[in-house]
A and B are shown apart, each in its own frame.
Chain A
């Protein structure tokens, strides 16, 4: 089975440009998570969805960040306008939460974003 698929793997953009990161979760999973990883702050949860509904977006840095999950097989994280301090690796993860206890989160390969 395919794992979590993220695109693009690398993104280089200029300050002020809009950036859209994409994620396809594992088929059948009902929770999706967006994380950001930097040397300074480590791994931070930005937002997560259950059954396509955003549950907790308290980790979203500011209004420049937005995330959507229009259906069970696709999610986007958008940064508009982008700033150099947004440079980081962004991970998407998915899990199946049900009667079997807390689901294991499976991570995509990440998108390395560089904002110049």
Chain B
């Protein structure tokens, strides 16, 4: 079973629109960590955020914000006033305390921001 589901395969928005990328995870562990990574067209994977399961406070970093809801096992990512430079593939990942150090990555959401 897929531990991390990113149901949106591709999203296109017009510049300056807001966009939310969905991430749903599955775990029986009480201690776990959630991550978002960005993969721009150049190919590298860039870390964006880490959240642990005991911290449900939403986080905002500039135009980026993350909504963590344990009740729905979701960790959604919103980009406000999108820009062309936001065009990339975004990956959500889960790491469980009981499963060692490995990450379970979702299949990614490809975001295209149209100028």
Q: Which residue from chain B places its CB closest to the CB of A95 in the assembled complex?
A: B101
Any A CB within 8 A of the CB of B45: yes
Any A CB within 8 A of the CB of B90: no
Interface residues of B in 78-110 (CB under 8 A from A): 91, 95, 97, 100-103, 105, 107-108
> Is B91 touching A43 in the complex (CB atoms < 8 A)?
yes
Across-interface contacts of B105 in A (CB, < 8 A):
42-43
Q: How many A residues touch B, CB cutoff 8 Å?
A: 25
Any A CB within 8 A of the CB of B43: yes
Q: How far is the CB of A86 from chain B (nearest CB, A)?
A: 18
> Is B45 touching A102 in the complex (CB atoms < 8 A)?
no
User: A102 CA to B33 CA in the complex, in Å?
Assistant: 7
- The contact sample of 18 A-B pairs, CB cut-off 8 A, is A31-B101, A33-B102, A42-B108, A43-B91, A45-B103, A48-B101, A50-B101, A56-B102, A101-B33, A101-B50, A102-B33, A102-B97, A103-B101, A105-B47, A105-B103, A107-B44, A108-B44, A109-B44
